[in-house]
Amino acid sequence: MTDIVHVLSDQVANQIAAGEVIQRPASAIKELVENAVDAGATSVKVIIKDAGKTLLQVIDNGCGMSKSDARMCLERHATSKIYKTEDLFNIRTMGFRGEALASIAAIAHVEIKTKRQEDDLGTQVNIEGGEIVGDQACGCNDGTSISVKNLFFNVPARRNFLKSDPVETKHIIDEFQRVALAYPNIAFSLFNNENEVFHLMKSSFRQRVVGVFGRKYNQKLVPVEESAQVVGISGFVGKPEFAKKTRGEQFFFVNKRFIKNGYLHHAIQNAFQDLISRENIPSYFIFLELDPQGIDINIHPTKTEVKFENDRAIYAILLAAVKKALGEHNIAPLLDFEREPAFDVPPLGKGESVEIPEVRIDPSYNPFDQSSGGTGNGMNSKPSTENWEELYRPAAEDKRESENLESDLNQTQFELEADLDEQANPPSKPIQIHRRYIISQIKSGLIVIDQQNASERLHYERYLNALKNSKVSVQKSLFSKTVELSPGDFGLVMEMKDEFDALGFEIREFGKSTVIIEGVPADSTDKDAEALLERMLELYKNNISDLKIEKHDNLARSLAKSLCIKPGRILSVEEMTAMIDELFACSMPYYTPNGNPTITTLTIDELNTKFGK
């Protein structure tokens, strides 16, 4: 019997490593841009074509590499960041594992052009599927240019699992933004299919946030600053009124490395208590500076998860810092409409004092005084008949009103009983309760419909059908709306313009990152066009993380959730009847696209049981 244990070839080992490190084009962009930052670049340019499937290119003006380094960087575990075990606990660079370039080269066609400032000529290395197929001197600029073509060309199963171009582009933009936000002292640019998406010059952190997310963010930011022995905190949180129901603008950076941390997120959410509703999430862009020995970043292949040695102390300091920032900028709590306004006592002005109320009495008054004036000094005085009626008229009127109400209720009950006697099966009309639910009688009992969930299901099927078959009705706006979007959102809208047209939007490009909305779906005329588009994009991006949702399905879900009838809206009998009829005509009437129930039933037997029958 032959031996069965053997060492994997470098090619297979690299492809296995690539499965962990390079999950999609965005993963390669992250690794290459981080390497450019570590190389001391002051300018980084990113170029993508077809969402990175055809081309990913990162060009930097960093230190460059020698000929031998250009070959060595393609080996597994090759790195310039660490030399001994102790270095793992003192890491301040972005990349350090030494697997990125080897992993990328194993699953793509890669071209490296690099030159150090002191060299006359640079080096060009070409790799295909992990094998070096070219190595020669070349003329090139100082720094490094790495082109990645035909990603996953030799791993077709992985390529088939990639999502649509808009989705993959969105992931690339996310990774680009995270590094660009962390390093405002570096100029960054991003080109997508030859269109410039970002052009970020060296700037302050506030200017970088505005450059990434748009000019409107300048008025949304509240600065946060705190210095403690355990951690230094700086950055911004968004004002409470700009909090959203979905994630996407929450950024933590530990020693300039983007991380995700639910524990610290809870600290900021807690700081906004009483300022925003529970379902809303504040925006934040927070830098944490710690001693590298107090954190462990080597616990996840993407290095976005870390462990803190003093996590409780960091939580407390972050919570206090955000609360302090909100207080210093006079961010007031939300109004509580259930609070008794009579307790709102205005502060005293300068020189004012509180006056003690004076109680006035008539010492001559005697309720037993029989004199007609009722104001004598004797012991038998009493109020006059006129005064008595004045004193007790309100009580008498309340009594009469109560008697009339009881009579009306008795009459209504008598009429209802008579009506039920005449009709054993009275006609059923739906009724609305709490401006939230619709109740309708059925043969076996009754049904309760959640008007929001039912409306979401109706809109979803309507828009999904529109995307597959035909265009929905468009409501032309009397006045067009100019909307400035973030570069990422602008790219999404332009790439899915045909789909937006099918849904009933009329949108045209108007300069860089700006669109004009000239029409919206006909059943959304009561919505603000800009708010509708932004809400829909927000929901769409939030759903991208669910790899099971197809693009058309995602768009239909997002628009349906944006336009569905919300609790609090009063519905007429005709509207409720139409909703019930349409709901039961749906292919799946019982659940929303996300799986929430639209209908529940209560049978006669269940009702009888509740009443002991």
Q: Rounded to an integer, what is the distance from CA 343 to the centroid of its chain?
A: 37
Closest of 294, 261, 292 to residue 96, by C-alpha: 292
CATH architecture for segment(s) 206-328: 2-Layer Sandwich (3.30)
Question: Tokens at residue 182, please?
Answer: 């962390």
**End-to-end CA gap in the chain:** 78
Q: Identify any residues that bridge with 195 across adjacent strands, giving them in sequence order.
A: 192
Report d(CA 63, CA 360) in Å as an integer: 91
Q: What is the pLDDT of residue 93?
A: 59
Strand order in the sheet with 284-289: 221-227, 232-238, 284-289, 250-254, 257-259
Q: Which residue has the tokens 């933009």?
A: 173
CB 138 within 8 A of CB 123: yes
Would you place residue 536 in the very low, low, confident or very high pLDDT band (cuts 50, 70, 90)? Answer: confident
Q: Give per-residue pLDDT as tens, 198-213.
A: 999 999 999 999 999 8
Report d(CA 176, CA 51) in Å as an integer: 13
Beta carbons within 10 angstroms of residue 433's beta carbon: 9
Which residues, 6 or more positions from 260, have their beta carbon under 8 angstroms from its beta carbon? 252, 304, 305
CB 374 within 8 A of CB 383: yes
Closest of 192, 221, 190, 191 to residue 204, by C-alpha: 221
CB 281 within 8 A of CB 233: no
What Rg value do the Cα atoms of the chain yield, rounded?
Answer: 35
SS3 128: strand
Report d(CA 224, CA 234) in Å as an integer: 5
Q: Give per-residue pLDDT as tens, 471-482.
A: 666 777 667 888
pLDDT at 84 over 50: yes
Residues of the chain with CATH 3.30.230.10: 206-328
Q: Indicate the average pLDDT of the chain.
A: 80
CATH number, span 447-599: 3.30.1370.100
Residues of the chain with CATH 3.30.565.10: 10-202
Q: What is the pLDDT of residue 519?
A: 86
Beta carbons within 10 angstroms of residue 191's beta carbon: 16
pLDDT at 297 over 80: no
Q: What is the pLDDT of residue 74?
A: 80
Report d(CA 94, CA 218) in Å as an integer: 28
Q: How many CA atoms lie within 13 A of 606 on its CB side?
A: 8
Report d(CA 288, CA 296) in Å as an integer: 14
Q: What is the pLDDT of residue 388?
A: 38
One-letter identity of residue 73: C
Q: What is the pLDDT of residue 18?
A: 62
Q: What is the pLDDT of residue 546?
A: 55
Q: Identify any residues that bridge with 134 across adjacent strands, giving them in sequence order.
A: 126
Residues of the chain with CATH 3.30.1370.100: 447-599
Angle, in degrees to the nearest 10, between helices 529-544 and 165-182: 90
DSSP code for 325:
H
For the purposes of burial, counting CB atoms within 10 Å of the CB of 371, is it exposed (0-12), middle (13-18) or buried (19 or more)? middle
Would you place residue 56 in the very low, low, confident or very high pLDDT band (cuts 50, 70, 90)? Answer: very high
Q: What is the pLDDT of residue 299?
A: 47
pTM of the model: 0.69
Q: Which residue has the tokens 């769409």?
A: 540
Which residues, 6 or more positions from 578, have their beta carbon under 8 angstroms from its beta carbon? none
Question: Tokens at residue 252, please?
Answer: 């933590």
By residue count, the chain amounts to 613
SS3 259: strand
CATH 3.30.565.10 fits 10-202, yes or no: yes
Mean pLDDT of 156-170: 83
